[in-house]
Amino acid sequence: MRALTSFISGSLFGIGLLFSGMTDTSKVQGWLDLFGNWDPTLAFVMGGAIVPMFFAWRYSKGRKPIFGDKFPDPQSSNINPDLIIGSVLFGMGWGLAGLCPGPALASLGFGGSQGLVFVLAMLCGMGATPTIKSLFPSYKSAI
């Protein structure tokens, strides 16, 4: 049952990304181009995700999920080097490619080669991260 729920949720997420334009790299780059031809429409997409989740997290407090043992505990809100470095790299990738991981995976469904290149590069980066971090033994990771 959990696999079916995950499949349905992921499918709805992917369809939402497609319909909202988040898989269109020019639309995403237009959102990030504040001093050029700025496209504010993705603010509505973000608001359409953030507002319902705010109420969902409030509602779920102290309740038991239907298809699980418990809801996940909130992550740490500490700002640390991992968060800063990860945010900078995420933003650079999003700005340069116009994709982030979710829309890149969704774009694989309609045969875009740009999405495939992005996903392969993302997987290489994820695979290389432990090796790169091991080169800096004095660095205190939060993980």
DSSP code string of 68-105: SS-PPPPPP----HHHHHHHHHHHHHHHHHS--HHHHH
Q: Which residues of the chain have pLDDT under 70?
A: 111-112, 138-143
Q: Is residue 53 part of a domain?
A: yes
**Could you read off the pLDDT of 7-37 as tens digits, one per residue?**
898 888 888 878 887 777 787 788 888 888 8
pTM: 0.61
Count: domains in the chain: 1
| Angstrom distance (rounded) from CA 140 to CA 143 | 9
Note the pLDDT of residue 55: 92
- Any domain includes 141: no
Whether 105 contacts 14, CB under 8 Å = yes
Q: Does 74 fall in a domain?
A: yes
Q: In the prediction, which pLDDT does 111 show? A: 64
Contact 42, 49 (CB under 8 A): no
User: What confidence score (pLDDT) does residue 57 get?
Assistant: 84
36 lies in a domain?
yes
Residue 139 within a domain: no
Distance CA 26, CA 98 (A): 7
- Residue 143, domain member (yes or no): no
Range of the domain at 80: 2-134
Radius of gyration of the chain measured on its C-alpha atoms? 18
DSSP states of 17-42: HHHHTTT-HHHHHHHH-TTSS--THH
Tokens standing for 7? Answer: 């499949």
Please report whether residue 140 resides in a domain.
Answer: no
Residue 51 within any structural domain of the chain? yes
Dist. CA 29–CA 68, nearest whole Å = 38
